[in-house]
Structure 1
Amino acid sequence: MLKKGSKLNSILTGSCPRCHQESMYVDQNPYHITKVYTMHENCSHCGLHYQIEPSFFYGAMYVSYGLTVAIGVAAFIISKVFIGLSLGQSFIAIIIALVVLMPVTARLARNIYINMFVHYEKNAAKK
Structure 2
Amino acid sequence: MLKKGNKLYSILTGKCPKCHLELMYETKNAYQLSQTLKMHERCGHCQTKYKIEPSFFYGSMYVSYGVGIAFSMAAFLLTFILFESSLAESFIAIVCTLIGFMPIIMRLSRNIWINLFMSYDAELVEKK
- The normalised TM-score by structure 1 is 0.97
Structure 1: stretches of 5+ with no match in the other structure: none
1:78 aligned partner, one-letter code: L
User: 2:87 is matched with which residue?
Assistant: 87
% same residue: 53
Distance between the aligned counterparts of 1:12 and 1:123, measured in 2? 22
- Give the match for residue 105 of structure 1: 105
| Runs of 4+ off more than 3 Å | none
2:69 aligns to what? 69
Structure 2 unaligned regions, length at least 5: none
Q: Distance in 1 between matches of 2:24 and 2:70?
A: 25
- What is the deviation of 1:123? 1.6
- The CA distance in 2 between the partners of 1:46 and 1:124, in whole Å, is 6
Aligned to 2:56: 56
Give secondary structure in 1 for the equivalent of 2:47.
coil
Alignment of 1:18-33 (within 5 A): 18-33=18-33
Alignment RMSD: 0.9
